[in-house]
Amino acid sequence: MENLFAFEYFFDPHKRFYFGYIISSILIAIMFFYFTKNKTKVILSKKLWFHKSAILDYKYFFVGYFINAFLLIPLIFGAKTIAFSVNKFLYFQFDFFETNFFSYSQIVFLYTLALFVVSDFTRYWLHRLMHTIPLLWEFHKIHHSAKVLTPATFYRVHFVENLLFGFRYSLSIGFVTGVFIYFFGAMIDVYMVIGVNVVLFAFSLLGSNLRHSHVPISYGKFLEKWFISPKQHQVHHSKKYFNKNYGGYIAIWDRIFGTLKLSSEVKTMKFGLKKEQMKDYDSISKLLITPFTNLLKKYTRKKI
């Protein structure tokens, strides 16, 4: 079982912990500190990697794997089912349609890009709703309870949130696929690198793991209006800016909907929740149970 676990997470390019992404992130961090002359004390410090919050991340990473494998994955509708339903709906509403305006390579390019853009757009809105809807925020709080950021913080996510993001993925990918099948039939395909959408692969290789880290890589004012830099996501984790930079990879959604924060506008960052709240998120059991107990308290107070 342990061998299967390691194989899936460290040798599967669909996972954030794929060894290629880890190595590339380390190399990018080394180059960043070398060329910027930035201090590396924080990154190399035992206080970071053996901080109580970091150790909790490591433990929760393993627990979360089994929860997702045995409880969530069987409950998530497949993108294929959604695609079939969308295609069937379009066919019955508008009858058969076929276009020959695009070449095969153009269709593959458009489909590859559409999958990435639509997925990122829906990710932005679900992430934003996780912050703005009180019920959902109770579950998303556990991700923001990390006092320090490590790549493993990416997996500090409540299983309810994972379930919602699983539905989001299936719906967005299934919707795009259903539309493309309706217009282009069997001609659709995706540009891939080792089985991963080439756009997602590129972002993963260019340091996605550094988003949850203390490596403050900025893309500069111009590029940060288009793409979310690692430092911009670190800004999102800062206590004062939970309501900024909801985007996954593309910054356009934050810019359009008024939630963009450039990293140059933020001088200091402090991670975690309010001091009085942190005690409720300092163990695996609390990470799993606290959202439910908080909601129960709110519900009982309202009834009284």
243-263 pLDDT, tens digit per residue, is 999 999 999 999 999 999 999
**What average pLDDT does range 269-289 have in this prediction?**
95
Residues 137, 266 contacting (CB under 8 angstroms): no
List the Cα angle 140/145/149 in 5-degree steps: 110
Give residue 183's domain range: 2-303
Q: Which residues touch 74 (CB under 8 Å, ≥6 apart)?
A: none
Residue 119's pLDDT is 95
Residue 12's pLDDT is 86
DSSP output for 7-46: HHHHS-TTSTT-HHHHHHHHHHHHHHHHHH----HHHH-H
**What average pLDDT does range 17-41 have in this prediction?**
87
Domain total for the chain? 1
Segment holding 215, helix H or strand E: none
Is the pLDDT at 134 greater than 50? The verdict is yes
Is the pLDDT at 63 greater than 70? The verdict is yes
Is the pLDDT at 235 greater than 70? The verdict is yes
Residue 46's pLDDT is 86
Confidence band for 77, pLDDT divided at 50, 70 and 90? low
Residue type, 271: F
Please write the tens of the pLDDT for every residue from 201-231: 999 999 999 999 999 999 999 999 999 999 9
Please write the tens of the pLDDT for every residue from 171-184: 999 999 999 988 88
Segment holding 197, helix H or strand E: strand 196-197
